[in-house]
Amino acid sequence: MPRKTQIFQVSTLYGAATLAAALDAGLFGPRHEARRVLLVSNNAAVPETALRLDEMHGYARIAGRFDSVVSWNEAISPHHPSAWGPRGNDTVLWQRALRLLWGIDERDLIELAVESIQVNPAQALAAIFSESAVHVYADGLMSYGPTRDKLPLTLARRIRRLLHLDLIPGLKPMLLSEYGVEPELVPDEAFRGVLDEISRDAADDPRLAPVLEEAPTAVLLGQYLAAINILSAQEEEDLHVRMLTGAVRAGHRSLVFKPHPTAPADYSTALSKAAADAGVRLTVLDAPLLAETLYHHCRPALVVGCFSTAMMTASAYFDVPVARVGTALVTRRLQPYPNSNRVPLAVVDHLVPDLEREETPALVGAAPGTLSPLVRAIGFCMQPKAYPQLRESTADWLRNHLADSPGYYFPELRLAELGLPGSHPRSRAKIQVRRAKRVVRRAVRRGVRR
C-alpha cells in the first residue's frame, strides 16, 4: 500500500502557527499515517536580506512537528518564489527532481497544504504535484474576501477545504466559495496553545526585557504599506504618528511600537521624535517575534493598527480592546478596485472603533448582522464574474444602505462600470466613452498586425 507524504508550504510564522494548530487538532489525520514535510518559502522582495523564518522565536517548536524541513528557495534557485512557475511540459521532470531532493519515494501519495493558492509558490507546487489533493489555509483576514484570480478548473477541483481561524465569529469566508470549497475552522484552543508555546520560547530574548520594564499599556502595529505602493513612505510615517497621537489622547503614557519586519529604521525614528514631543515613553520592539508574543508578555490595555490581522488576534485570543487609525485613507488609495486588501480594510473599518474620532476601544466579538451583507456586496463588486449570483442581493443592499455607508466602500465609477444602483448618468457616460475608446484601440491594433 502506498505511503502518504504531506507537504506543508509556509512563508510566515503566523501561517506556520495556523498549520501547527491544525495538526494539533487532528485536522490532517493521525500522526503515524503520513510523513510530514515543512516547505519554507521566503517570498520577500530580496530574500537574501530579509528576516528568515528560522530566525523567529517559536520556529523550532513548530518545525519539530514535522519529519523534515526543506527550502523552496533553494530548490528553485536562482528564481524568486513569487515569480517562478514550471513550464507545462516540465512538471513531470520537476516532480521527479523534487521527490529525489526531498527524499520522497516515487510511489508516495502527495497531499499539499498551501497558502494563497491564486499565486506562486502555491500554484507552482500544485502544477508540479498535479495528482495531489490540495488543502488551502488562510493566513489572516483576506480569507473573508473573494478569490483574487480565476483558478484553472483542473486545480479548483482538487481543493478539499479552506482552513481558517475564527477571527470574526459568524462571518463566513468568501475565498474559493465559487468553486464549492467549504471553510473549516481551526479550533481556537489549538491556536491559542501554539501562540502560548511560541511566546514561551521568546521569554529570554534580551530585546523583550526593556519593553517589559517600561510596562506599556498600548501597542502600536506598523504596516509597511509603502512597499506595495498604497501609501508613500511619508504618509506611512504620518499614519504611525497618528496612532501614537490617538493613544496618547486616550490616556496612555507608555507605548510600544511593533514595526513591520521589512519597514525602514527611520520609521521608528520619526515616531520616537513624536513621542518625545508628546512627553510619553515609547519603546520600539525590533525583535524577531510575533505581535501575539508581545501581547502574551506585556498584557496591554490597547492595540492600535490600521487593518493588521494582529489587531483581530489581540481581541479574539487575548481579550485586548482594539482601535483603528487610517482605514479610510488606505481604502481610498487602493487600486485597482479588486485589490485583495479591500475586504480586510472594510471589515476593520466596520467593526473596530476609530481612535481619531475618540471612539472607545473595544473587543470585536461576533460579526453583527450588518457585516456579512456588506462583505458580500464588496466582494461582488470586486469580482462580479466569479459571483454572478450575488448581483441582485448587492443591488438591493446598495438601494437600501448606500446612502448611509462610507463613500470609499463603493466608488461611483465602479458602480457605473457594473451598472449598479448608486451611479449617475454622467459616470455611466464616462464609462461608455472609455469602453468605446478601448474598442477602437483594439481595432487599430488588429489592423496594424494585418
Q: How much is the pLDDT for 437? A: 65
pTM attached to this predicted model: 0.92
- Least Cα distance to 112 among 73, 161, 61 occurs for 161
Please, what is the angle between helix 291-298 and helix 188-201, to 10°?
80
Same domain, 41 and 62: yes
Q: How much is the pLDDT for 447? A: 66
Q: How much is the pLDDT for 427? A: 63
Q: How much is the pLDDT for 414? A: 94
Amino acid at site 35: R
Q: What is the CATH number of the domain that holds 165?
A: 3.40.50
Report residues of the chain scoring pLDDT below 50.
none
Same domain, 258 and 229: yes
Q: How much is the pLDDT for 47? A: 86
Q: Which of 153, 175, 195 is the last residue of a domain?
A: 195
For residue 435, being part of any structural domain is answered with: no
Same domain, 327 and 389: yes
How many Å is the Cα radius of gyration of the chain?
A: 23
Same domain, 182 and 226: no
Q: Which of 166, 195, 224 is the last residue of a domain?
A: 195
Q: How much is the pLDDT for 227? A: 81
Same domain, 275 and 416: yes
Task: Name the 3-class secondary structure at 199.
Answer: helix
- Least Cα distance to 263 among 239, 293, 294 occurs for 239
pLDDT digits (tens, 9 = 90+) for 20-54: 999 999 999 999 999 999 999 998 888 887 888 99
Same domain, 125 and 212: no
Q: How much is the pLDDT for 50? A: 80
Q: Grid coordinates standing for 338?
A: 479588486
Q: What is the b/e burial string over 362-392, where b = at least 16 CB atoms within 10 angstroms of the residue's CB?
A: eebeebeeebbbbbbbbbbbbbbebbeebee
Give the domain extent around 222: 205-423
Q: How far is CA 75 from CA 24, 70, 92, 104, in A?
A: 28, 8, 15, 14
Same domain, 232 and 366: yes
Per the structure, the count of domains in the chain is: 2
For residue 159, being part of any structural domain is answered with: yes
Same domain, 362 and 316: yes
